[in-house]
C-alpha cells in the first residue's frame, strides 16, 4: 500500500494534514482479528468504534450483502420502497419502546441527530410555538460532527469557540454525577431541574446519550438520572431525544440504554452497530404525536430526504445483523465480557498513572491522570498485538460480542501492560 500517498493526500478522522500521526495498513479482518499488511495480527478491542458487534467478515452478514447486491444495490426512496427497508423498520419499531412508531432512515449517525433536532423544531413550529427552538444537553456529551449535532456536544471538548458565530446557541447542564451503581441523591438532578425550569419557554428538546456518555468522556451514569429527566421533560413540556447511536443493540448489557431506566423517549437516534459495522446507516424514530403534528404543520411534510435514504444494501445487512444478534446469546456474552473486563482491567487500578477503571456491559475504560500522546502510545499497542485507540485521558475497549475468552484475556493483559509503560 502506498502509505506515502496516504500521508500526503488523505485526511483521517481528526487529523493534521501537515503533521499526521502514523496510520497502519490493514489487509483484511476476521472475527476479532485485524490482519495488517506487514503480516502482524492484532486483537481488535474497538469494534471499529462500537460498530462490528459480531466481529469482522461474518458469513451471514456477507451473504446478506451478496444476495442484495444481485437484486439491487441502490434505489431512490422518493416514491419507491423495498422489502429490506420495510422489514428493517418493522424490526426497529418492535424492538424499541412502544411509543416510537415512525422511522426515518438516514445515512450516518450525525445525520440522524440533525433529523431528530429538525423533528423537534418542526413539531413546535407546527404547534405555533416557534420560540421553542433551543436544545438542552449534557456537558461531556457527544452527538456527532455536523453543525446542529456539534451545537449539542460538550462546548469545551467540541471546541465550540472555533465555530461560535454559526453554532445554534443551546443550553448545557452539568454532566451526570451519579455513577451507574451509586446511591441516588436528589441533589444530582438539581442543575438539570434548574436549567429546564428556567428555559422551558425556549426549549424544544433535551438531547442526551442514555446511561453511557461515549466519545465525550466514556462516563456511565445512573438510570435514576434518566428517569428524572423523563419526568421533568413531561412536566415542563419539552421533548426528550435519546441518542442511542453508541449504546444501541446490546452494548450496555440491555438492548438499548433507555431500557435500564424503563423510559420511553419522544425521539430516538440509532446508528453505528445497526448494520453490524458493515455499512453506514442510521435511523431516527419518533412518536405518533410528533409525526402527526409535523404533518399537520405549515410545511405539511417532514423537510428532509437524503439521496441514499434507505439504501437497500445497508438495510439488508442491518436486517441480517439484528437477526444474528437476537438469535445469539448476546445477554450472556455481554455479561461474560463485563465480568472478564472487570477482572482483567482491575490490575490497572494499582498503577500510579491511572485515575479510574470502570466497566459496564461490553465496555471497559481506564481513565488516566494525564492525556496520552497518541503518536507514541498507538505504536505501543500495535507492538503488543492489540488494536486500542485511546483519546485524551481515556484508554477504552468495546470488543465484539463474539470475542473469545482467550482473546479477551490477552486483550486485557496487554492493555494493562501497555498502560503500565506510560
Ligand X SMILES: *Cc1c(COP(=O)(O)O)cnc(C)c1O
Residue among 68, 96, 110, 222 that touches ligand X (CB under 6 A)? 110
Q: Which residue has the cell 419507491?
A: 80
Q: How many chain residues bind ligand X (CB under 6 A)?
A: 15
Strands 134-138, 100-106: pairing is unpaired
Query: Is 250 one of the binding residues for ligand X (CB under 6 A)?
Result: no
Query: Is 285 one of the binding residues for ligand X (CB under 6 A)?
Result: no
Least separation in angstroms between residue 421's CB and ligand X is 29
Closer residue to ligand X in complex, CB, 278/422: 278
Residue among 45, 109, 310, 361 that touches ligand X (CB under 6 A)? 109
Closer residue to ligand X in complex, CB, 50/387: 50
Query: Is 207 one of the binding residues for ligand X (CB under 6 A)?
Result: no
Closer residue to ligand X in complex, CB, 282/418: 282
Query: Is 142 one of the binding residues for ligand X (CB under 6 A)?
Result: yes
Q: How many CB atoms lie within 10 A of CB 127?
A: 14
Query: Is 312 one of the binding residues for ligand X (CB under 6 A)?
Result: no
CA dist., res. 176 & res. 264, Å (int): 19
Q: Give yes or no for a contact between 359 and 365, defined as CB atoms under 8 angstroms apart.
A: yes
Closer residue to ligand X in complex, CB, 209/224: 209
HSE value, Cβ hemisphere, 13 Å, CA-based, for 292: 5
Q: Give yes or no for a contact between 195 and 138, defined as CB atoms under 8 angstroms apart.
A: no
Strands 26-30, 33-36: pairing is antiparallel
| Residue 391, phi-psi category: left (phi > 0), alpha (psi -120 to 50), beta (remainder) | beta
Please report, as residue ranges, which positions from 327 to 346 form the binding site for ligand X (by CB under 6 A). Answer: none
Query: Is 158 one of the binding residues for ligand X (CB under 6 A)?
Result: no
Least separation in angstroms between residue 337's CB and ligand X is 19
- The interface region with ligand X, picked from 63-71, 102-110, 293-301, 370-378 by CB under 6 A, is 102-110
**Residue 306 exposed, middle or buried by CB count within 10 Å (0-12, 13-18, 19+):** middle
Query: Is 271 one of the binding residues for ligand X (CB under 6 A)?
Result: yes
Least separation in angstroms between residue 272's CB and ligand X is 6
Query: Is 209 one of the binding residues for ligand X (CB under 6 A)?
Result: yes
Strands 203-208, 239-243: pairing is parallel
Tell me the backbone φ, ψ of residue 371, rounded to 5 degrees.
-65, 150
18-29 burial string, b = 16+ CB within 10 Å, else e? eeeeeeeeeeeb
3-state secondary structure of 101: strand
Closer residue to ligand X in complex, CB, 144/312: 144
Least separation in angstroms between residue 17's CB and ligand X is 20
List the grid coordinates of 216.
465525550
Collect all residues with Cβ–Cβ distance below 8 Å to 398 and sequence separation of at least 6: 45, 46, 47, 50, 251, 362, 363, 364
Closer residue to ligand X in complex, CB, 149/418: 149
Residue among 119, 245, 270, 403 that touches ligand X (CB under 6 A)? 245
Query: Is 144 one of the binding residues for ligand X (CB under 6 A)?
Result: yes
Query: Is 214 one of the binding residues for ligand X (CB under 6 A)?
Result: yes
Query: Is 215 one of the binding residues for ligand X (CB under 6 A)?
Result: yes
| Alpha-carbon distance values, 354 to 118, 202, 268, 357, 367 (Å) | 41, 42, 35, 8, 6
Least separation in angstroms between residue 241's CB and ligand X is 11
Residue among 92, 241, 246, 263 that touches ligand X (CB under 6 A)? 246
Q: Which residues are the active-site residues?
A: 14, 142, 243, 272
- The interface region with ligand X, picked from 140-148, 233-241, 305-313, 358-366 by CB under 6 A, is 140-148
CA dist., res. 247 & res. 257, Å (int): 6
Residue among 243, 266, 338, 340 that touches ligand X (CB under 6 A)? 243
Least separation in angstroms between residue 271's CB and ligand X is 5
Query: Is 108 one of the binding residues for ligand X (CB under 6 A)?
Result: yes
CA dist., res. 395 & res. 393, Å (int): 7
Query: Is 113 one of the binding residues for ligand X (CB under 6 A)?
Result: yes
Interface with ligand X (CB under 6 A): 108-110, 113, 142-144, 209, 214-215, 243, 245-246, 271-272
Amino acid at each position: 500500500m502506498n502509505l506515502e500517498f496516504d500521508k500526503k493526500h488523505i485526511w483521517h478522522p481528526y487529523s493534521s494534514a501537515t503533521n499526521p500521526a502514523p496510520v497502519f495498513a490493514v489487509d483484511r479482518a476476521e472475527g476479532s482479528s485485524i490482519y495488517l499488511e506487514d503480516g502482524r495480527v492484532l486483537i481488535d478491542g474497538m469494534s471499529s468504534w462500537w460498530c462490528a458487534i459480531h466481529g469482522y467478515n461474518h458469513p451471514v452478514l456477507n451473504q446478506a450483502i451478496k444476495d442484495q447486491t444481485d437484486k439491487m444495490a441502490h434505489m431512490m426512496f422518493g416514491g419507491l420502497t423495498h422489502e429490506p427497508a420495510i422489514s428493517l423498520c418493522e424490526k426497529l419499531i418492535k424492538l424499541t419502546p412502544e411509543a416510537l412508531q415512525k422511522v426515518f432512515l438516514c445515512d450516518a449517525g450525525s445525520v440522524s441527530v440533525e433529523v431528530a433536532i429538525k423533528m423537534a423544531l418542526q413539531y413546535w413550529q407546527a404547534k405555533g410555538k416557534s420560540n421553542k427552538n433551543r436544545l438542552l444537553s449534557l456537558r461531556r456529551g457527544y452527538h456527532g460532527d455536523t453543525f446542529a449535532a456539534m451545537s449539542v456536544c460538550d462546548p469545551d471538548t467540541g471546541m465550540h469557540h472555533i465555530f461560535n458565530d454559526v453554532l445554534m446557541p443551546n443550553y448545557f447542564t452539568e454532566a451526570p454525577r451519579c455513577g451507574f451503581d451509586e446511591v441516588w441523591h436528589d441533589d444530582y438532578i438539581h442543575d438539570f431541574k434548574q436549567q429546564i425550569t428556567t428555559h422551558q419557554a425556549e426549549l424544544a428538546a433535551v438531547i442526551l446519550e442514555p446511561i453511557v456518555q461515549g466519545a465525550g468522556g466514556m462516563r456511565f451514569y445512573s438510570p435514576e438520572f434518566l428517569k428524572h429527566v423523563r419526568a421533568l421533560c413531561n412536566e415542563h413540556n419539552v421533548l426528550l431525544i435519546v441518542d442511542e447511536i453508541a449504546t444501541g443493540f446490546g452494548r450496555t448489557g440491555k438492548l438499548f440504554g433507555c431500557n435500564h431506566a424503563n423510559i420511553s423517549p419522544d425521539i430516538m437516534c440509532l446508528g453505528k452497530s445497526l448494520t453490524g459495522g458493515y455499512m453506514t446507516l442510521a435511523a431516527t424514530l419518533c412518536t405518533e404525536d410528533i409525526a402527526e403534528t409535523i404533518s399537520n404543520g405549515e410545511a405539511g411534510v417532514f423537510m428532509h430526504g437524503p439521496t441514499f435514504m434507505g439504501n437497500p444494501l445497508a438495510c439488508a445487512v442491518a436486517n441480517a445483523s439484528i437477526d444474528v444478534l437476537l438469535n445469539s446469546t448476546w445477554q450472556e456474552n455481554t455479561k461474560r465480557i463485563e465480568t472478564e473486563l472487570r477482572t482483567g482491567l482491575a490490575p490497572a487500578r494499582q498503577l500510579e498513572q491511572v485515575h479510574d477503571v470502570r466497566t459496564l456491559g461490553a465496555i471497559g475504560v481506564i481513565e488516566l491522570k494525564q492525556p496520552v500522546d497518541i503518536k507514541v502510545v498507538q505504536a505501543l499497542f500495535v507492538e503488543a498485538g492489540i488494536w486500542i485507540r485511546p483519546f485524551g485521558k481515556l484508554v477504552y475497549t468495546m470488543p465484539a460480542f463474539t470475542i473469545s475468552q482467550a482473546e479477551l484475556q490477552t486483550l486485557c493483559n496487554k492493555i494493562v501492560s501497555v498502560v503500565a509503560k506510560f
